[in-house]
Amino acid sequence: MNKDNSSNKKNKYKSIIQETIARNSSKRKMKNNLITILLCSFVIIAIIPLSSILIEVFKNGVGALSFDFLFQPPGSIGSQGGGIGPAIQGTLLVVGFATLIGAPVGILAGVFLSEYSSSSRIFAYFLRLFNDVLTGIPSIVIGIAGYITIVLTLGSFSILAGAFVLSIIMIPIVARVSEETLKLVPNTLREAAYGLGLPKWKVVWHIVIKGSKSGILTGIVLAISRIAGETAPLIMTILGTSLFFGGFNSPVDALPLRIWRLASQPYPSAHEQGWGAALLLILLVLSLSIALRMIAQKRSITFKTTT
């Protein structure tokens, strides 16, 4: 009798539990679906501005593009003519010089962190910390430092000052990516090189660095796409101008700076040129980003197949 009662109770409880689970599971499933939809809408919220920006820049800027626009200096204020030739040239030159300074320094710093950090752990720790701190310093603050150290000392706005501040922004990005890429080179390769009797510097240079070329290039391209869009530090170092490059101690122009100046004007022709310049800048930066992605993906495949 007792056994019957207990098994009946068990069955009762079992059915109650099953019922509850069945009821709750549809509630839980609904909650799960609702939240999935909510999070999906978050993604859409994030993507809408991006597509709006791309559409607006393309829509408003494509009308400004022409041969004159790309190669001529600006015309009289408010007039239809002229272009942003000096700005394009300026961006290429300033970014180019900044890369000449920033890329080697960044790569070598990354090499230190990856290959030589064992010789002084404390130094490496502080280097890594300050490197990360440097990434986070607002670019306008770096611009102030550049103004005080270069513009005031040399006595003029110049491409050197601009390249200097952009290189400071570039170094930590290149260093961080280089360090991580170099660390990925398997130790077996290093040991093999040592075993063959190569001195350390040859090991680092020929084996490690040359073996991480695409990764390091990724870092450099990432940094370039970042500094090509920087405006604030350029305001106080290159000043901006309507002329083409005139020497190492004259002001130069740059795309982001020109966009800022054009956007602040009330003339529709200036606005149109501003959108056109923005289109060029965004094309430059986006194509670099996409190229970056493709290199990065190719690289991960390459490494998988070796070790």
Interacting positions 262-281 with another protein (CB under 8 A):
263-267, 270-271, 274-275, 278, 281
Task: Identify the residue among 183, 244, 272, 303 touching another protein (CB under 8 A).
Answer: 244
Nearer to another protein, 9 or 200 (CB): 200
Instruction: Name the phi and psi angles at 239, rounded to 5.
Output: 70, -40
Rounded-to-integer distance, Cα 301 and Cα 286, Å: 23
What track of x and - describes contact with another protein for positions 23 through 62 (by CB under 8 A)?
-----xx-xx--xx-xxx-xx-xxx-xx-xx--xx--x--
What lies within 8 Å, CB to CB, of 73 at 6+ separation is: 82, 83, 85, 86, 242, 243, 244
Collect contacts of 275-278 with beta carbons under 8 A, ≥24 apart. Answer: 275/56, 275/57, 275/60, 275/61, 275/64, 276/61, 276/62, 276/63, 276/64, 276/65, 276/69, 276/84, 277/61, 277/64, 277/84, 277/87, 278/57, 278/61
Nearer to another protein, 160 or 281 (CB): 281
Q: Which stretch binds another protein (CB under 8 A): 8-16, 92-100, 185-193?
A: 92-100
- Does 103 contact another protein by CB under 8 A? no
Query: Residue 8 CB, nearest distance to another protein (Å)?
Result: 26
Distances (CA, A) of 270 to 58, 66, 67, 115: 16, 15, 17, 52
Nearer to another protein, 66 or 289 (CB): 289
User: Which residues from 170-199 bind another protein, rule CB under 8 A?
Assistant: 171-172, 175, 199
- Does 210 contact another protein by CB under 8 A? no
Instruction: Name the phi and psi angles at 244, rounded to 5.
Output: -70, 170
Q: Which stretch binds another protein (CB under 8 A): 6-14, 188-196, 260-268?
A: 260-268
- Does 207 contact another protein by CB under 8 A? no
- Does 63 contact another protein by CB under 8 A? no
